[in-house]
Structure 1
Amino acid sequence: MLKLTIDEERWPIAGSFTISRGSKTEAHVVTVTLSDGTHTGHGECVPYPRYEETVPQVMAALEAARDKIEEGFSHRDVPALVAPHAAQNALDCALWDLEAKRLGKPVWTLAGLPKPQPAVTAYTLSLDTPEAMGAAAAKASGRPLLKLKLGREGDTDRLRLIRRNAPNSRLIVDANEGWTPENLPAMLVACADVGVELVEQPLPAGHDEALRHIKRAVTVCADESAHGLDSLDAMIGKYDAINIKLDKTGGLTPAIALAEASKARGLKIMVGCMLATSLGMAPAFLLSPMAEFIDLDGPLLLKQDREPGIHFDGSLMYPPPASLWG
């Protein structure tokens, strides 16, 4: 028998975090703990209103499945136990952690993945005025990869000022569905002009057919349009890459399957995250050997991360310690 513990946690952000849809000042997460009396596994998820998930909904879904969870379950059982993808993520990752502790082997070995190595993560610049983002870029100009939150009037000026103030940083952009088919061609040209390598989700999910007909010099990556394997076919012909987030796929298990299938279909891989602590980043980091772009900077944006946490040397991210997860 297992013992399930469900907790709600709030982690203040250092300042605020703004994207095209709005701002937030904290990471609001749900954690799952599974204990067999000897070993304990942990998982973390971020219920995201954009996907019609809330913290109370996720906690209620986990509580409703308590009896079946505590009877014991496999990774294959997770989608039938809890419906929201965030709840599935926390449960799946807690089980991986528990299995690793029971067997005394790291999760990457159990999952048949390459051994993770230190890797550079993107560092996100929150959406703000062009001048403020330019100033933020100057402060972050020593970081090798910057992710720019765009999607509002003035994006061309933002790009120009950021590039001027961070001339040596690689740039990727996340428009968070904030552009339109009408301004998309000009925005992609503006991105190419300053050397942006990738643009995430420029158009609203469900209204992105224009991408099939637009020539571009910049890689376009699906985020809000892409969830699990069932969404993959719809990405082909519109997107060049896919952002895999465990809170969208429903855990590490389906994320691995999605990454392998995406590679087979010729899509580049970005491994991303919601705003969360190192516990939420740790399972996703195992996908980093398959990814061209890594965006797991959630802990860097918090006032304080959990202890123990993932070690960051600037933007260089190290594999999670076993005392944290996996």
Structure 2
Amino acid sequence: MPQKSIIFFGALFFIYLAGGLIADEGWSYYMKKAEKQFAAEQYGFALENYARVLDRRPHETAALNRVAAIYLKRNEKRTALEYLSRSIAADPRQPDVQNAAGELKEFFADYPAAFHHYMAAIGADPSHLHARINLVRYYAALHDSAKASEHFEVCARLGKAEGDRLVAMGAAEEKKGNTIEALALYTQAVGKSPAHLDAFFHIVELYRRAGDPEAAILTLDRVKEIRPDLEKAYVHSGYLYFAQRFSPRRKYMLEQTIINAETALELNPGNREMYFLLADVYRFMGDDVKAAKLLEKADSLFGPGPIKEIPGR
């Protein structure tokens, strides 16, 4: 009898072990299948197989993150956030996931929670570019320039040496008149050093000189994303929009000129040129009274005098 009992319990143990191996094999099979479907953009089928993975391994972060990504692609942000939160609960040291959760929290106007996630992201990876940029925006909104600059400087140091080298090469090509080669090099510089402001402004200037203000403005929009408190970006945007005041989209161009000029003044009330730009806008719109008041305000604040030249004006 004892021998039979040993055999019986041994068989049970084998069945238990085999069952565990089969279950483990099952989740990995579904994971591989889901990954192939995700890569092929067969998101509906992928969701089914990720669900099978999570039935077997509820804390599998790779599956949770993929499901979140699919719901983000479908613009189902709240559902995506639920899966990101589950992933973070399973493993909080995922900087990309923390940052993505922060951006969603920010979208839903939960700014303290967003800040918490951004800080967790740089806690896990101090060089996490996107989390740092999000913190720049967060502190800029609070008008805390010191903190915004602190995080931006970390971003600016990432890839700076290579970015500087490519910008120097681009400037050399530009000097020779090779604008296409110069633009390619400046673009590479931004790729290597995503917060390289000099590279961005070289690109803006090339587009402006090439007569492509829309491309220049889009580049400035990227600058505003990484440094939302940079006065220079709004100044350049204001002039570029105003230069298109005769386009079929005249109303939009004038509105954007005003928005950018006023934002520049919020950042630097001492920017005399923006009062003159706004005066030009209102004069163009036929509001001579408002234009005159802006000129009077500029003179009362700074006194009459020459306007400082703005690069790329």
Same fold (TM over 0.5): no
Q: Which structure: larger Rg?
A: 2
Larger RCO, structures 1/2 (Cα 8 Å, 6+ apart): 1
With normalisation by structure 2, the TM-score equals: 0.25
User: As a proportion of its length, which structure holds more helix?
Assistant: 2
User: As a proportion of its length, which structure holds more strand?
Assistant: 1
With normalisation by structure 1, the TM-score equals: 0.24
